[in-house]
Structure 1
């Protein structure tokens, strides 16, 4: 901390001058992390629940295989448009308003699923849920990264994925064991209203990002927020804004395009197999002729949760680039082993499945950490939104293609091409990935 000081106000002691990302972790940092947790929990819950109840939805609404794929990928389609469009809006109007208002949309639309009259209406409702969640994927980690201390930034952002995993696992368990009646899927899908309303309430009063205010030249407002929530005076170096605005096209100029395309490739390659496999785990276990499939599904979900928690430590300790490269390698080898052992005993076959589950959950933490660190402040929400949006399109493609692949080619070939996607991500990381762990974000 600098020895220089600035006067906080008439008759008050001068406040110490500190760069924003060197302010020690305090109660407000914990609060902004917890508020962002809620969105990730809600997203995990929404996506996990549709996978758990999809067979009941299919039976209740008489879905064709085409509509099964469309319903499974509907929220992901909404996430694409929400991340891409509202991420850009977040760079123009600020983070705070979207951070609050998007959950009003999610809460209303979630409860409407209870009365969905048919497949088209359900598809539209879930696209709208994804649209609202897409806004949070763009502005949530962005807002949090712009408040976070540099030393704790990785752990704070990585912990968001654990919240996603908790929501996903909770939805899987509830969807598996409470889905007992012809209309129970309606109540289970509508239950996503509960976390959405809680998030909406606790986010009211969230301050705007000082980093974004600085990038817009609104330094007095940024100073006021930092004084109020951290009781320090901002270091003058934080006021060297590069510009007051930036065009979306600047993501693809010489200074940014390598990071942008790396982000798109690594994010998409990591999540495509994840969503494809975990939307259809019951189907995969059935094709593998696993006995006690519900028990094995529960075991996989426990390893999913354990991997997410362990991943926080690895992200905090390892360089971003190394963590990502090794994650891709282990995941690819696991899926190749799963494909090769698909005709072996359940005990042998479940070993690579469990390893894949644990490592994928741990690796998913980096998808909350790397994107905000790749872009300058005035393009951060746009860049994070672009990466999230395109990754969700990749996820939707994988989710739509997986049942077709299983039917046409079976487990081994399906696992091999999914492993190929992961290897593509690994090579892209080797070629293009920057090391961002110690970079100054403001």
Structure 2
């Protein structure tokens, strides 16, 4: 029996479903913790008397922490295992959230938001790698894409929580908003108890019998020595990989592709999540904080609703046409907001909602591509590095949003967002690969002709496939 029958072609078991729920807890917390600041900043600004620069840093510093966390903890996860890191990062998230109750100065807010970002950055390579390495290939794309959907759910819950606190207790309740993440963190901790280590990671570390026992437990049958030997043959690397391998040749191109396209998705999205109520107020939607926050909830629902057809298309049409269409039509949706910034509220919400739907569909790829394009021994490091590349731009972009709104105006700020989205389309034309229906080992290998897999064939049909 081929090794693909053990994992890549295995049925979806109860354990797989439990693991999906457990791994989804991380992205949920990520979305919640990174988005709740968007509502809390209004009250924090009033209580702590933040200037424009400090306000920008407070909004962007979590992304800086995310950059550091993903860059540092991705390689550590590849070295010591996925399961060891699986709950440690949650403890840090919970502690930093609770500590927000005692914030008395702007620097304390910035410091704690940095720690939250650090833990979020650690979780990206941990949870996504573990889930990817257990999932059957026919469910892999939609399942990994689900993590992005759950991220959006966390963001939406954050705005509902923020709206509830603001409506009931006013803007002064911002400390409790930030601390509320600890409750969700404790729930996720419980979900993650009892998880197995990645069998692919165990194999490349020589822990063959442990991998065999775990796979047998998950599949509900005894895996034979022949089956596990076949898997070892395919999984075991020819030589020990080094982190520097990610910085040369095909791996470097893939890192840049994953990081830069993730950045092009993330900058407009994080701008909306972090400064959504402020942007909507500038555009004339919502006369008070609660009204603008309610408008933000509607936009977040757009991101979520767009994800569901994206999860279907990523398996039925493929990764490449989905990313191309999302960037192209997303740029076209932002363009009218830049051209007509003084438009009526219904016009603003219509095109913002349309952009949210389109961005939500393509955004499911940000976890899929880096997990599929790299081998087991480098997967978490690659996800961490791609995350870091994306967050350099996202942090700078998010920091500059309030500066741009004040200095350039709302219209030019929207045009910049449209330009960044179109840049993602151009990058994807040249570098987007097709990994649909490929087993995990094959997807990480170099195509025979040295070009991105299926790109030459896809270019010939690009016009027909762009229509999502």
Superposition TM-score tier, normalisation by shorter sequence: over 0.9
2:313 match: 314
Render the CA deviation track for 1:41-63: whole Å, top value 9, x for unaligned. Answer: 11111111100111101111111
- The farther-off stretch of 44-53 and 308-317 is 308-317
Aligned residues: 429
Residue 268 of structure 1: which of 254, 260, 263 is its match? 263
Confirm or deny that 1:288 pairs with 2:313.
no
Which consecutive unaligned segments of at least 5 residues does structure 1 have?
5-15
Confirm or deny that 1:231 pairs with 2:220.
yes
Distance 1:112 1:242, change over 3 A: same
Distance 1:291 1:52, change over 3 A: closer
TM-fit CA distance, 1:308: 2.6
Render the CA deviation track for 1:129-165: whole Å, top value 9, x for unaligned. Answer: 1111111101111110000000000111111111111
2:207 match: 218
**For 1:18 and 1:312, how far apart are their aligned partners in 2?**
24
2:428 match: 429
**So what's the TM-score if we normalise by structure 1?**
0.93
**For 1:318 and 1:130, how far apart are their aligned partners in 2?**
34
Pairwise mapping of residues 69-148 of structure 1 onto structure 2 (< 5 A)?
69-148=56-135
**For 1:219 and 1:152, how far apart are their aligned partners in 2?**
25
Pairwise mapping of residues 129-168 of structure 1 onto structure 2 (< 5 A)?
129-168=116-155
Distance 1:355 1:221, change over 3 A: same
Pairwise mapping of residues 4-23 of structure 1 onto structure 2 (< 5 A)?
18-23=5-10
1:12 match: none
Report the 3-state secondary structure (helix = DSSP H, G, I; strand = E; otherwise coil) of the residue aligned with 1:133.
Answer: helix
TM-fit CA distance, 1:389: 1.9
Render the CA deviation track for 1:172-204: whole Å, top value 9, x for unaligned. Answer: 122123123464111110000011111122212
1:42 match: 29
Which consecutive unaligned segments of at least 5 residues does structure 2 have?
442-468
CA contact 2:82–2:130 (8 Å) conserved in 1: yes
Residue 252 of structure 1: which of 226, 247, 250 is its match? 247
**For 1:291 and 1:101, how far apart are their aligned partners in 2?**
41
Confirm or deny that 1:379 pairs with 2:378.
yes
Report the 3-state secondary structure (helix = DSSP H, G, I; strand = E; otherwise coil) of the residue aligned with 1:280.
Answer: helix
- The farther-off stretch of 141-150 and 423-432 is 423-432
Distance 1:264 1:124, change over 3 A: same
- The farther-off stretch of 41-50 and 229-238 is 229-238
CA contact 1:309–1:362 (8 Å) conserved in 2: yes
- The farther-off stretch of 120-129 and 49-58 is 120-129
**For 1:438 and 1:336, how far apart are their aligned partners in 2?**
35
**For 1:24 and 1:197, how far apart are their aligned partners in 2?**
31
2:458 match: none
CA contact 1:53–1:176 (8 Å) conserved in 2: no
Residue 178 of structure 2: which of 189, 207, 216 is its match? 189
**For 2:239 and 2:49, how far apart are their aligned partners in 1?**
53
Render the CA deviation track for 1:262-295: whole Å, top value 9, x for unaligned. Answer: 1121111111111123311111111111246434
Render the CA deviation track for 1:189-224: whole Å, top value 9, x for unaligned. Answer: 000001111112221221110011112222222111
TM-fit CA distance, 1:322: 0.9
**For 2:149 and 2:350, how far apart are their aligned partners in 1?**
22
1:8 match: none
Superposed CA RMSD in Å reads: 1.8
CA contact 2:256–2:389 (8 Å) conserved in 1: no
- The farther-off stretch of 89-98 and 362-371 is 362-371
**For 1:206 and 1:252, how far apart are their aligned partners in 2?**
32
1:7 match: none
**So what's the TM-score if we normalise by structure 2?**
0.88
1:325 match: 324
**For 1:425 and 1:391, how far apart are their aligned partners in 2?**
12
**For 1:49 and 1:243, how far apart are their aligned partners in 2?**
46
CA contact 2:260–2:389 (8 Å) conserved in 1: no
Report the 3-state secondary structure (helix = DSSP H, G, I; strand = E; otherwise coil) of the residue aligned with 1:87.
Answer: helix
CA contact 1:103–1:200 (8 Å) conserved in 2: yes
- The farther-off stretch of 297-306 and 78-87 is 297-306
CA contact 2:310–2:361 (8 Å) conserved in 1: yes
CA contact 1:102–1:135 (8 Å) conserved in 2: yes
Pairwise mapping of residues 312-391 of structure 1 onto structure 2 (< 5 A)?
312-391=311-390
- The farther-off stretch of 219-228 and 151-160 is 219-228
Which consecutive segments of 4 or more residues in structure 1 shift more than 4 A? none
